[in-house]
């Protein structure tokens, strides 16, 4: 014979408590999943922004190399120099020229922002006689 104040109700309370724990566990799992998904979207958004900033800095570095070559067609800096873009980002630019008779210079600009690195490579045709500089190719390098 069952004992207690409400005979037969002990088992139903136990089933109800198990159901509460089960539903609560599912709610916690869904909540954690939503937090992980939200964090992933936020990180992806910042990653795109950082990548765009790195692209802008690398492009600014390549444009600076172009200006350096226009000012001095014999300009060369194989050790690299820094170009600061609004003080928050910078690019490292190297400019290498082949022999003067070849008439080509290659500039490589590398910028890293927030762990995202972008690299721009530009090939210029340089006429040593006239000092004229023209862009032959401009490419984002992976």
pTM of the model as a whole:
0.70
Predicted confidence band of residue 36 (pLDDT cuts 50, 70, 90): very high
Residue the block writes with tokens 């001095």: 72
Instruction: Using a pLDDT cut of 70, give the percent of the chain over it.
Output: 87
Q: What is the arithmetic mean of pLDDT over 48-65? A: 91
Give me the chain's average pLDDT, please.
Answer: 86
Q: Quote the pLDDT of residue 115.
A: 86
The beta-strand segments (E) located in 67-132 are 77-85, 89-97, 104-113, 116-126
2 backbone dihedrals φ, ψ, rounded to 5°: -75, 145
65-87: pLDDT as tens digits: 999 999 988 889 989 999 987 66
Q: Quote the pLDDT of residue 87.
A: 66
93-134: pLDDT as tens digits: 999 987 656 789 999 999 998 888 999 999 999 987 888 999
127 backbone dihedrals φ, ψ, rounded to 5°: -95, 105
72 backbone dihedrals φ, ψ, rounded to 5°: -145, 105
């Amino acid at each position: 014979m069952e004992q207690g104040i409400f005979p037969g109700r002990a088992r139903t309370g136990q089933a109800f408590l198990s159901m509460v724990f089960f539903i609560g566990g599912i709610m916690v799992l869904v909540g954690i999943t939503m937090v992980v998904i939200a964090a992933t979207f936020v990180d992806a958004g910042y990653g795109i922004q950082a990548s765009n900033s790195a692209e802008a800095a690398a492009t600014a570095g390549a444009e600076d190399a172009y200006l350096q070559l226009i000012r001095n067609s014999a300009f060369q800096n194989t050790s690299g120099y820094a170009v600061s873009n609004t003080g928050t980002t910078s690019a490292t630019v190297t400019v290498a020229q082949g022999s003067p008779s070849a008439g080509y210079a290659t500039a490589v600009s590398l910028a890293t922002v927030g762990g995202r690195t972008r690299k721009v490579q530009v090939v210029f045709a340089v006429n040593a006689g006239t000092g004229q500089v023209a862009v032959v190719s401009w490419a984002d390098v992976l």
